[in-house]
């Protein structure tokens, strides 16, 4: 019986050339650490986790008594450009956070420029087995095939910022054309949100086509109820916030005021402004009030007042329904 020989062609996955010629490269004369990561380049998908890990690494270097510079790209805060600094100033390059593969060209370029420094990897995910590819002299990986450690973000101590919902009316055909100031109102709402550190949550109350993926009135209200404060140009932004004890900075988009101003007056809510009274300093003071305990207590009082007033409306409706029919 003759055996048929089959010639197999195997596609070999080639590892990019990671050769870094360190022979003859003089050791740096400086003793600083250059801290780098995905935040050292723009357009590399830097995440909040990368920045938190960076900040933890900074604290660890300080506690270790080491002087350092951070190679930050411009969107991520002050620092140095690793392409311009003198490599001789850095005895170590510490690369922090993120997945790494041999195909990550920026890392290769960074380590080649600082060939005379020691190369340390911290909190990185090694996609390749470190026995096959490891560009670091010291590797304290977050995870690899050989081990896993907690991510550095667990050690971060970032201060919490307020959670503020922004509930704006979409551009619409004016109800009061001569007094319409909806663009002015929206711009003022965005300015006051930009005036202080906070987490902005856009909330649209429209259903069923909701840009935020909310499907029911209960989902809309639950999201608003979870905010520390709300900034709104929409009547039900005011109503659903105050109903749930969430202070609202209300901006009526109609000059002289319309339904928002009247609704706020009906329940006794004082933090409401009309287009002719949108001074930035006053808006910031209003937002500060909404973010204090006093603002939340006032919102609860107004919600109770609204419920009491509606009990009277229900009695009036019941009386009307019990009257003679036409």
* DSSP annotation string for 87-115: GGGEEEEEEEEEEE-TT-HHHHHHHHHTT
Strand partners, 70: 35
Which residue in 143, 96, 142, 100 sits closest to 121, CA to CA? Answer: 96
Of residues 19 and 125, the one with the higher pLDDT is: 125
Q: Which of 134, 155, 176 is the last residue of a domain?
A: 155
Least trusted range by pLDDT, from 19-28, 59-68, 212-221? 19-28
Domain for residue 4, yes or no? no
On whether both 80 and 189 belong to a single domain, the answer is no
Span 245-267, pLDDT tens digits: 999 999 999 999 999 999 999 99
Residue 10 forms part of a structural domain? no
68 and 207 share one domain = no
> Mapping DSSP to helix (H, G, I), strand (E, B) and coil, where does residue 170 land?
coil
Does a structural domain hold residue 279? yes
Is the same domain home to 302 and 175? yes
At 15 the pLDDT is: 55
Regarding whether 315 and 223 lie in a shared domain, the answer is yes
Task: Check whether residue 149 and residue 242 sit in a common domain.
Answer: no
pLDDT the model gives residue 8: 39
**CB neighbour list of residue 91: distance below 8 Å, 6 or more residues apart:** 27, 28, 30, 31, 32, 33, 117, 118
Q: What's the predicted TM-score (pTM) here?
A: 0.80
- Flag whether pLDDT at 12 surpasses 80: no
pLDDT, the chain, mean: 93
Q: What is the pLDDT of residues 157-212, one digit of tens each?
A: 988 999 999 999 999 998 899 999 999 999 999 999 999 999 999 999 999 999 99
Residues 151 and 171 in one domain: no
Q: Is the pLDDT of residue 37 over 50?
A: yes
Average pLDDT estimate for 221-239:
98
Q: Residues of the chain with pLDDT > 70: what percent?
A: 94
Residue of 44, 74, 40 whose CA lies nearest to 57? 40
Q: How many structural domains does the chain have?
A: 2
CB of 33 closer than 8 Å to CB of 66: yes
Band (pLDDT 50/70/90 cuts) for residue 326 is low
Predicted pLDDT of residue 20: 81
pLDDT at 3 over 90: no
pLDDT tier at 269, thresholds 50, 70, 90? very high
Out of 137, 155, 173, a domain closes at 155
CATH of the domain at 210: 3.40.50.2000
Q: What is the pLDDT of residue 130?
A: 96
Q: Do you know the residue count of the chain?
A: 326
For residue 6, the model assigns a pLDDT of 41
Of 3-7, 73-77, 109-113, 114-118, the least confident:
3-7
Is residue 206 domain-resident? yes
In this predicted structure, the answer to whether residue 10 has a pLDDT above a threshold of 50 is: no
Q: What is the pLDDT of residue 11?
A: 42
Looking up tokens 């300093």 gives 281
Domain boundary, last residue among 113, 134, 155: 155
Q: What is the pLDDT of residue 159?
A: 87
C-alpha distances in Å from residue 325, one per residue of 275, 315, 320: 45, 18, 9
Task: Determine the Cα–Cα distance for residues 256 and 1; give it in Å rounded to an integer.
Answer: 100
Mean pLDDT computed over 221-234: 98
Range of the domain at 258: 163-319
73 and 96 in a single domain? The answer is yes
6, part of any domain = no
Specify the CATH number for the domain of residue 74.
Answer: 3.40.50
> Mind listing the pLDDT tens digit for each residue in 55-87?
999 999 999 999 999 999 999 999 999 999 999
């Amino acid at each position: 019986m003759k055996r048929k020989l089959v010639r197999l062609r195997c596609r070999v996955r080639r590892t990019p050339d990671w050769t870094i010629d360190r022979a003859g490269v003089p050791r740096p004369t400086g003793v600083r650490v250059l801290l780098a990561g995905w935040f050292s380049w723009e357009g590399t998908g830097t995440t909040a986790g990368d920045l938190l890990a960076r900040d933890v690494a900074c604290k660890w270097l300080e506690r270790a008594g080491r002087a350092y510079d951070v190679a930050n790209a411009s969107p991520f805060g002050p620092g140095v450009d690793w392409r311009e600094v003198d490599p001789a100033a850095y005895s170590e390059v510490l690369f922090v956070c993120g997945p790494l593969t041999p195909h990550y060209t920026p890392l290769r370029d960074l380590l080649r420029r600082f060939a005379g420094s020691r190369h340390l990897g911290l909190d990185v995910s090694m996609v390749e087995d470190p026995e096959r590819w490891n560009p670091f002299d010291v590797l304290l990986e977050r995870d690899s095939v050989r081990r896993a450690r907690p991510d550095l973000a667990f050690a971060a101590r970032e201060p919490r910022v307020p959670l503020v919902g922004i509930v704006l009316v979409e551009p619409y055909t004016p109800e009061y054309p001569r007094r319409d100031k909806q663009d002015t109102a929206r711009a003022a709402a965005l300015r006051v949100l930009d005036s202080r550190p906070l987490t902005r949550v856009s909330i649209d109350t429209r259903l069923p086509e909701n840009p935020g993926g909310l499907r029911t009135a209960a989902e809309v209200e639950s999201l608003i109820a979870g905010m520390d404060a709300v900034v709104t140009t929409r009547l039900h932004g005011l109503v659903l916030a105050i109903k749930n004890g969430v202070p609202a900075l209300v901006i009526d988009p109609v000059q002289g005021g319309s339904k928002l101003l009247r609704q706020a007056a009906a329940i006794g809510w004082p933090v409401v402004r009309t287009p002719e009274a949108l001074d930035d300093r006053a808006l910031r003071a209003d937002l500060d009030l909404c973010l204090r305990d006093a603002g939340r207590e006032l919102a609860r009082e107004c919600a109770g007042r609204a419920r009491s007033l509606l009990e009277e409306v229900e009695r009036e409706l019941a009386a009307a329904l019990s009257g003679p029919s036409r």
